[in-house]
Amino acid sequence: MSDSLRRFAPGPFHADQLRDGDRYELSNGHPIYCAPAGWQHGSGSVKGGLVLDSDPDVQWTGVDVGISPDGGTLRAPDVVVRATPPIGNSTWLTEAPPLAVEYAGPGQDERELREKIAELLAAGTRLVWVVRLVGLQRVEVHRPDGPMKTYTASDVLEAPGVLRNPVPVRALFDRDAAHDVVLRNLLQRRGYASLNDVRDEGREEGREEGMVSAILALLRGRGLAVDATVEARLQTGHNQETLQRWLLNAARVERAELIFDERAFTE
C-alpha cells in the first residue's frame, strides 16, 4: 500500500472493530499486521518499561497499549508513559501519551515506522524515542517541532514535564544499567536521594539504638526500676542530641522517669 493511498483513501476498518489482543494496528482505516516480537525487541521493551515506570514523576506506563485518537487510527507503541493513570472503561486510549518508545530491531519496516511516528506526533505525543537494536547503541528522538536527533550510548535522554530524571541511553539496552536506574528511581520515590542516604540512615539508626541501650544499662546498673512507659519512650526514636542529654540525666536521676524532666536539671 502506498503512503498516498493510506493518507487520502480511508480504509474500511474502525478501531472499535478490533479487540484486545488482535495483531493489527490501523492507519487511516487500513490494517497493519503486527508480527510477534523477536527476543531483542521483547527484552528491550521490558527494560524500557521498568526504567520509565519507576521514575518518581511517572504515574502510569503501559506496554503495547492501543492509542486511538480517531476511529480510523489505532497505534500501539512498545512503551507509553502518562502523567496520570487512564480512566474510563474504553479498551483503547483516545489521548496520545506525552512519551512513546519504539524498539526497532532486525526486519524493521522503516516506512511503516515513519508513518507511526508521524501519526503519534500529530495526535499529541511530545516525544517518540526510537531505540535502535541494530548497529551501534543509539536512540532517535522525534519531536513535532524540530528535527530528529540521535543520542549515543554515552548520552542521556530527558523528557521535561514527563520524567524527573534523565535516562542514560545505555539503560534502554543493558540490563544492569537499567537496574541501576530503577534502584535510583525507587529510592527517590521513598524519599532518599541515593543509596548512600539509606546507608547513612542505617548507621544513624544504629547509633540511636546504641544510645538507647546505654541509657537503659546505666539506669538499671544504678539499681533504678525501668518500667514499660520509660522504655517505650526511649524506643520511640529521637535525635542524637536528645539521647545524649538523656544519657547524662540517667547518671543523676533518682527515678528513671525523671530523665525526661528537663526542669530537674535547670532549676
Give yes or no for residue 265 having a pLDDT over 90. Answer: no
What's the pLDDT at 139? 98
What are the beta bridge partners of residue 93? 67
DSSP summary character for residue 38: P
Give yes or no for residue 55 having a pLDDT over 90. Answer: yes
Give yes or no for residue 85 having a pLDDT over 90. Answer: no
Backbone angles phi, psi at 103, to 5 degrees: -100, 125
The mean-pLDDT minimum among 100-114, 128-142, 159-173, 246-260 falls in 246-260
What's the pLDDT at 35? 65
pLDDT tens for residues 115-170?
A: 999 999 999 999 999 999 999 999 999 999 999 999 999 999 999 999 999 999 99
Q: Cβ–Cβ contacts within 10 Å for residue 137, how many? A: 17
Mean pLDDT of the chain: 85
User: Percentage of residues in the chain with pLDDT exceeding 70?
Assistant: 89
User: Percentage of residues in the chain with pLDDT exceeding 90?
Assistant: 38
Top-confidence range, 37-51, 58-72, 202-216, 237-251 = 58-72
**What residues does each domain of the chain span?**
3-189, 195-265
Tell me which fold the domain 3-189 belongs to. Answer: tt1808, chain A (3.90.1570)
Give the long-range contacts of residues 195-203, CB within 8 A, separation 24 or more: none
In this prediction, residue 187 has a pLDDT band, given cuts at 50, 70 and 90, of: confident
In this prediction, residue 210 has a pLDDT band, given cuts at 50, 70 and 90, of: confident
Q: Are 99 and 78 in contact (CB under 8 A)?
A: no
Q: Are 24 and 33 in contact (CB under 8 A)?
A: yes
Model-level pTM? Answer: 0.71
What's the pLDDT at 267? 47
In this prediction, residue 5 has a pLDDT band, given cuts at 50, 70 and 90, of: very low
